[in-house]
Amino acid sequence: MNGVASQSRAGPADGASGARSARLPAGLVIAAHLAGMAAGIAAIAALATLLALLFR
């Protein structure tokens, strides 16, 4: 049973899956991740500021 489970997860042996899905460069992925985190922190700070002004 173990051999069947590992084969079902393996994907095509000829590498066809890599040709179809284009991977982004690691630097671009990291930059997008950091930009998203910065946007999330800015949104939380804006909401905290609005709440602080509302309950002042």
Summary count for the chain: helices (H), strands (E): 3, 0
Which runs of E-coded beta strand occur in the chain? none
In tens, the pLDDT along 1-48 reads 666 555 555 555 655 555 567 899 999 999 999 999 999 999 999 999
Predicted local confidence at residue 17, as pLDDT: 58
Contact assessment for residue 36 and residue 30, using Cβ atoms and an 8 Å cutoff:
no
Reduced DSSP (H G I as helix, E B as strand, rest coil) percent helix, strand, coil of the chain, to 5: 75, 0, 25
Predicted local confidence at residue 5, as pLDDT: 58
**Which amino acid would we find at residue 36?**
G
| Sequence spans of domains, the chain | 24-56
